[in-house]
Structure 1
Amino acid sequence: MTKKRPLILVTNDDGITAPGIRTLISIMNTIGDVLVVAPDSPQSAKGHAITISETLYCDKTSIDTDAPQEEYSCSGTPVDCVKMATHEILKRKPDLCVSGINHGSNAAINVIYSGTMSAAVEAGIEGIPAIGFSLLDYSMKADFSHCKEFILTIVNQVFENGLSKGVVLNVNIPKLQASQIKGIKVCRQANAHWEEEFDKRTSPMGREYYWLTGKFVNEDKGEDTDEWALANGYVSVVPTQFDLTAHHYIQELNTWNLNE
């Protein structure tokens, strides 16, 4: 008996034509039956935003005419794409959702802002095993060729072992040659942050406007973090949960006089 191929949902936040997602689609086609639902334009740093006050469009398309996947271009956010796929397009729940390959890092605090990871998180909320993949190269001409072996390894391990309820994987791949990457490390999220600044300018019409700028600051010296792994030539894998409860602080809060 032929083993049934898994159904894999592919999405991203850089847009359906971005090189990263086209690479991820081609890799997933070697594993299973692929459905693509991705934004029709870049949606980076949208976080877990959803469309509630505007019309949402989702049109069937065919970007790779000689490829087997079914594709839909959505006017909404990455989270909208997952919702549309699971509640409108698919007749059954996919066996896996993969998001990416993102152009740029989603390590450390970047996971909070990431549309790529929010799509994976939304799939996790729906009970779908999910992984977000990112390459530490922001260029639209980035070389994704060395990502394949690591993506295949991680995806196959997820199919073999499953993921715990409420957990998705945040995978970041360094911008190195394949021969320079030392392996895969399971990590924690580094305690790092952005120090934001605003570049204030004036338009030709005399109106002030701003560009968000800043620098990334990593004060975490631990050698078990995603930032350390990436800086030292490893692919980082962080198990990420969407339950934001600070469980360790519940007992402390219960000592407060909250009912007086």
Structure 2
Amino acid sequence: MHIFMTNDDGFESPGIIEMAKRLARLGRVTVIAPNRGRSSCSSSLSLQTYLRMWKKESYGENITVLSCNGTTADCCKLGLEHWLRNDKPDLIVSGMNNGLNNGSDCLYSGTIAGAMESIFLGIPAIALSAETVKKPEYLAKAADFAFEVVKKYFVDSSYKGILSLNIPKEEEHIGWKDLKITKLGIQRYDNAIREMKDPSGHLGFWLSGTMLPDAVPDTDVFWIHRGYPTLTALTWNMTDTDRLAEVKEIADTEK
């Protein structure tokens, strides 16, 4: 099995290193990830930038590591359509991300974008996100569980779609018995935009905010804030099929 890995935290992130080491048990792993953090880059491409790639020291046996000075999507394009064009991977794994990517936050996530690049080649994929990758003991447990999910779905069950796994910080719930298979929800924030001034008195803004736990029940946002891991099936198609008939009806009134 050949697994392609990427992320938006950079090739030196503990999350991608720990996952690559585990996934190497399943076969060859090729990592192509940004040379620095690119969080919230979504599917952006560096169309006006000269892109470079560097070979990096391997994380371990059966793992090839390269970095690129572009975004997550850049890494995937270079990897899947050029570097590995004659060595197509069997699976794409994006992450493990430092931070959750639940609900509407998927619109901004470079981690989700990495998994979505699978649609162009018909390769199954999964995005992996943990509440933090900066605590070694927690990361080890989260990575072990993520490995089990990858193996169960893509090796044992030959799943062909795209998945997103989110793992909260409550370690006692990291396991199959607590996993919630659910849909995306709306992730709202408190104080998402902070107004401030620099030392010279110039007005500026800082995008941050605190995640709000209130959400519609039976969504990933609802469960993740209650300490449960979530798994969601994703697709790239944003067509609102429920409203297509209404849109057509409005247009028809002008004909």
C-alpha distance in structure 2 between counterparts of 1:191 and 1:119, whole Å: 21
- In the TM superposition, what is the alpha-carbon distance from 1:226 to its structure 2 partner? 1.2
The answer to whether 1:226 aligns with 2:215 is: no
Q: How many residues align?
A: 250
C-alpha distance in structure 2 between counterparts of 1:47 and 1:179, whole Å: 29
Q: Is the 8 A contact 1:190 1:218 kept in 2?
A: no
The equivalent of 2:123 in structure 1 is: 128
The answer to whether 1:146 aligns with 2:151 is: no
Which of 238, 247, 251 is 2:245 aligned to? 251
The equivalent of 1:94 in structure 2 is: 89
- In the TM superposition, what is the alpha-carbon distance from 1:84 to its structure 2 partner? 0.8
Greater helix fraction, Structure 1 or Structure 2? 2
The answer to whether 1:24 aligns with 2:19 is: yes
Give the aligned residue type for 2:121: E
C-alpha distance in structure 1 between counterparts of 2:99 and 2:112, whole Å: 12
Question: Cα 1:180–1:151, aligned 2, differ >3 Å: closer, same or farther?
Answer: closer
| Backbone CA RMSD of aligned residues | 2.1
Give the aligned residue type for 1:54: T
- In the TM superposition, what is the alpha-carbon distance from 1:33 to its structure 2 partner? 0.4
The equivalent of 1:42 in structure 2 is: 37
4+ residue runs of structure 1 moved beyond 6 angstroms?
A: none
Question: Cα 1:144–1:186, aligned 2, differ >3 Å: closer, same or farther?
Answer: same
TM-score, length basis structure 2: 0.89
TM-score, length basis structure 1: 0.87
- In the TM superposition, what is the alpha-carbon distance from 1:159 to its structure 2 partner? 2.6
Instruction: Name the stretch that deviates more: 228-237 or 115-124.
Output: 228-237
The equivalent of 1:62 in structure 2 is: 57
Which of 72, 82, 86 is 1:78 aligned to? 72
Q: Is the 8 A contact 2:162 2:234 kept in 1?
A: yes
Greater strand fraction, Structure 1 or Structure 2? 1
The equivalent of 1:10 in structure 2 is: 5
Q: Is the 8 A contact 1:109 1:191 kept in 2?
A: yes
- In the TM superposition, what is the alpha-carbon distance from 1:59 to its structure 2 partner? 1.1
- State the secondary structure of the residue aligned to 1:144: helix
Instruction: Name the stretch that deviates more: 150-159 or 192-201.
Output: 192-201
Question: Cα 1:180–1:236, aligned 2, differ >3 Å: closer, same or farther?
Answer: closer
Q: Deviations over 1:235-254 (max 9, x none)?
A: 21000110010011111112
Q: Deviations over 1:213-237 (max 9, x none)?
A: 3333354331x22123324443210
Structure 1: which 5+ runs fail to align? Answer: 1-5
Question: Cα 1:28–1:217, aligned 2, differ >3 Å: closer, same or farther?
Answer: same
The equivalent of 1:158 in structure 2 is: 154
Question: Cα 1:39–1:183, aligned 2, differ >3 Å: closer, same or farther?
Answer: same
Give the aligned residue type for 2:246: E
- In the TM superposition, what is the alpha-carbon distance from 1:68 to its structure 2 partner? 2.8
The equivalent of 1:118 in structure 2 is: 113
Q: Is the 8 A contact 1:58 1:73 kept in 2?
A: yes
